[in-house]
């Protein structure tokens, strides 16, 4: 990842971006999270979710949570997109059913553009991580006349970038 990609990413993400480091991740996450929160485990060294975040939510916990936190496999700078790999831990549900989604991405996973993203996706798919959602900003519709944010998915999306991961 170049610092250029990081700053492009930051300006393209439709919603708040929190830059932080592994050491400060706890504090940053608690800023971005509104409780009750559900989540899936973060795969980054020395970064973990607070105990208050329910990582094994029941359907009703999913429905009542205010925030869902998941890792993102990639950030795509040109588009402000994160990719949510959806696996057995339930990332897809956590990132979809809650009104606020917080995606945590390692700076080293931010790629400049879509062709590079597809190269990485190709590797992931070959390795079995073969379902990923390219998510860009909140869910939205214009079917009722004007643009309304927050339809079946989150109305608010945050991205936390771990600068040293």
Helix, strand or coil, per DSSP, at residue 86: coil
Determine which residue in the list 92, 99, 163, 164 makes contact with other proteins, applying CB under 8 A.
92
Kindly identify the residues of this chain, within the stretch 93-152, that bind other proteins according to CB under 8 A: 93, 96-97, 114-115, 117-119, 121-122, 125, 130-146, 148, 150-152
Question: CB-wise, 39 or 154, nearer to other proteins?
Answer: 154
Which residue intervals of the chain are DSSP H helices? Answer: 3-12, 25-32, 59-64, 91-97, 114-126
The residue range among 44-52, 54-62, 65-73, 102-110 that interacts with other proteins, by the rule CB under 8 A, is 54-62
- Name the minimum Å distance from CB 8 to other proteins: 13
Question: CB-wise, 8 or 20, nearer to other proteins?
Answer: 8
Q: Where are the beta strands (DSSP E) in 99-155?
A: 100-106, 110-111, 132-135, 140-141, 148-149
Cα 78 to Cα 8: distance, rounded to the nearest angstrom: 7
Element (H, E) at 67: strand 67-71
Helix, strand or coil, per DSSP, at residue 42: coil
Determine which residue in the list 91, 104, 110, 161 makes contact with other proteins, applying CB under 8 A.
91
Residues forming the site for other proteins (CB under 8 A): 58-60, 62-63, 79, 81, 86-88, 90-93, 96-97, 114-115, 117-119, 121-122, 125, 130-146, 148, 150-154
């Amino acid at each position: 990842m170049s610092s250029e990609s990081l700053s492009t990413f930051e300006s393209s993400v439709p919603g708040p971006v929190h830059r932080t480091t592994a050491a400060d991740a706890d504090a940053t996450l608690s800023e971005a999270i509104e409780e009750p929160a559900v989540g899936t485990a973060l795969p980054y060294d020395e970064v973990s979710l607070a105990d208050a975040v329910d990582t094994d939510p029941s359907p009703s916990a999913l429905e009542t949570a205010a925030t869902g936190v998941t890792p993102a496999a990639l950030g795509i700078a040109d588009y402000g997109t994160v990719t949510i790999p959806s696996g057995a831990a339930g990332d897809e549900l956590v990132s979809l059913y809650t009104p606020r989604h917080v995606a945590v991405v390692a700076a080293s996973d931010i790629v400049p553009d879509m062709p590079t993203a597809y190269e990485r996706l190709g590797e992931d798919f070959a390795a079995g991580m073969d379902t990923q959602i390219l998510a860009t900003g909140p869910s939205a519709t214009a079917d009722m006349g004007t643009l309304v944010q927050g339809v079946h998915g989150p109305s608010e999306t945050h991205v936390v970038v771990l600068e040293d991961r």
